[in-house]
Structure 1
Amino acid sequence: MSNHRSWMYCRLDTFGYVSSEFKQGVDDFIDFAFSHVSYVFDNTIRCPCLKCANGEFHNRDVVEYHLYSWGFVGGYYAWSSHGESISGNLERVESSRSRDDPVNPYQSMVVDCDFGYNDFNRSGGTDENVEELPNPKAREFFSLLKDADESLWTGCKKHSKLSAVSQLLNCKSECNMSDSSYDRFISIVKDMLPEDEKLPTNFYRTKKMDSLGLGYKKIPACPNNCMLFYKESESLNECSVCGHPRYKPRKSSSSKHKDVPFKVLRYLPLTPRLQRLYMSSKTAKHMSWHEFNQSPEGEMRHPVDSEAWQQFNRTHPEFAHECRNVRLDLCTDGFNPFGPNAKP
């Protein structure tokens, strides 16, 4: 097998047939995957083809057929979903880079953080035989990649369009700048730059460009904290407990003006934040640390060493089989969530 596994993305030879090197590499990969029995479930393994993207389990023959047909999902040099240590292979991949090939940290940030990258790979958009247009997430992803490579102005070597916007937004957050102050500041900066500069004109345009952050959901709430106007209560216009109106009185009867709630809860969804931990190569390896760093006998240094963890494994063996599954604990810091103080 090639040290850098370059064969993985050289599927076809000059005549358009699957190359012999690729066939041999696929055989080696499948033998490797099935040799790690903890990653084999009912004689199936995760299929790393462009379509399945390690999201589907198939037997040996189906995995082989998929890889011959569509090739490997992009960037899967470290076979972490099939039992290979992530850190060891990443070192080989990084060492294969040319010393003269500079790494663009903002391009890496986009690839690590953006969910559209995996969506695009699963749609088959990178295969040379597929002409399907990228989905909206993928288009957004490639737009950000373009911004990461595009110079702030012609001849600028220190900043790309994305790097400048990211640093300006970071400055706004750290210095607690208002939107109007940011707009004023950006207008001054733009006047100082060459005419072909590419900075967004104001904060609104800047936010539209930068889409790497995780969003939140706004849920109207009763000002007295009685209830949320959510799900079955979403259509109510007043609190069902205290009767307080949901919306502030309108200053105008015009239908153009939207109703403004007295109070809004900003809910941060947990699932995409857990997914984001696996999107970055820097944090993904820590999410399965407990599986590959066993503690010495009789020593407790991680929740995996506790009896509660082991009891959970015995109760839910299928869930415990996948080390990347996330377990959540409730930490109350001495507060009893089921005691009398928990009641309103």
Structure 2
Amino acid sequence: MSDEDRRWMRMSRFTSEWQIGFKNYIQSIFGGTSEEETAPCPCTRCRCMSYQTQKEVRTHVALRGFDESFIQGEGNGPPLLVEKDNADEGMRDHADGSHELISSLINGVVHGEVIGNDEEDPNGSAKKLYRLLEEAKKELYPGCKEVTKVSFIVMLFQIKCMDGLSNNCLERILRLFLLVLPDGHCLPTSLDKVRKVVRDLGLDYQKIHACVNDCVLFRGDYAERDNCPTCGSKSPGMNIDVYLQPLIDELKELWNHRWRRNKNSFNNKTETREAPVPLTGAQVIQQYESFEQPKFGTATKKRKQREEDSRWHNWRKKSIFFDLPYWKKLLVRHNLDVMHIEKNICESIIGTLLGIDGKCKDSDKARLDMQHLGIRHDQHPVLENGQYTLPPSLYSLGKDEKIVLCTFLEGVRMPDGYASNIKRCMDFDGCKVSGLKSHDYHVILQKLLPLVARHILPEDVARPLIELSRFFNALCSKELVQSDIEKLSSSICRDFMSA
């Protein structure tokens, strides 16, 4: 298919040209095949690196659109249809971080972000890609399901870098593995061959020589020089900035992180501001003095919306805790109850999945907010005959799926005293849940929801819910150090941004 024939892929997904072209594309790929067969998905997230069923390809492309590299014809080979049961699970469903890393690295290879350049022979670049794909599928030894050849090598080099192992030490470890692995393994027999795989993945490092007197690094204009253009003192001292140059270059690149430019996932604006500075107690009291305390009581009239929109501060009332003489000096003035937060989140999730009135967060107002922010265009409400119609969302459950969810929750048997009798809280006729306690929602969110989500929800919805469950499960562990909290903070953002 020529670039001229693919112009419709860049059109709006609501136009008739795009819908007709998409229908013909699906027919050309999946025509005459069974529902279980899969093919490379050309959406902006999968980028032909993940095999999906016809239903999944339809959903992905309808929501995300075609990847630009696919439209331009990069990596455009014949679609490989495989049975779903035999599809490469390593490229689709691995939740392990090493497999996600490998998938991202191979994606980088495809799009020229890791290896390959304009001067490289396209056939040579394609050979590297296919070799990487084949290596990523290989079991470390026959019957090994835990790791592949490439994931094992990546984890081995992670240990080397994190623990500071020398090349000689890694060579001895490699010999030990070669001694104990069963026959038929595909682990490289030397450290040089292991490095070859690492280099192809773009994980190799570059050595930069430095002047013995710490004057300059032989990089940039000095890359080809054999002697130092100037000399300094015997120890770095103030010249330490010379060695920080590569770090500064990487930090500049980090500052231009894709999340700052990701307008669609936020308020449709590029973020360039610094993080807000937390207010001190004295600054909070100073803001308190600028407005009057509202009157309490059920008979008190609520504030008008225009008053809420026009206030310059973020306070609705003065907190009584600031009457305590020491409160303004506390560094942390908030104590958030994790279990009640879990209750609020899980109650909203269950209410949204089952469409419970008053608990469902997918409302006209929520869709209008998306339209106002200019995000999630496929979810914007459609005005017909003076009434709004909400396009179906990925997480919308049909009657059968709702019954499956209710049946699962009703059939769970808990140890005595572990949780309430959830069965008594189920209403099968209306597919509703009521009367659950905070601890019940705690159990559902951490233990039960991940089990049923994967059976009733698409992968793009089930995976974030499972990661959210893992997040709270780790947060409620008996032992939690600061480094664990930092990892949780970064992982929860990453998981929900990639969803």
When normalised by structure 1's length, the TM-score is 0.43
- Higher relative CO (CA 8 A, sep ≥ 6), structure 1 or 2? 1
Q: Which has the larger radius of gyration?
A: 2
The structure carrying a bigger helix percent of its residues is 2
When normalised by structure 2's length, the TM-score is 0.31
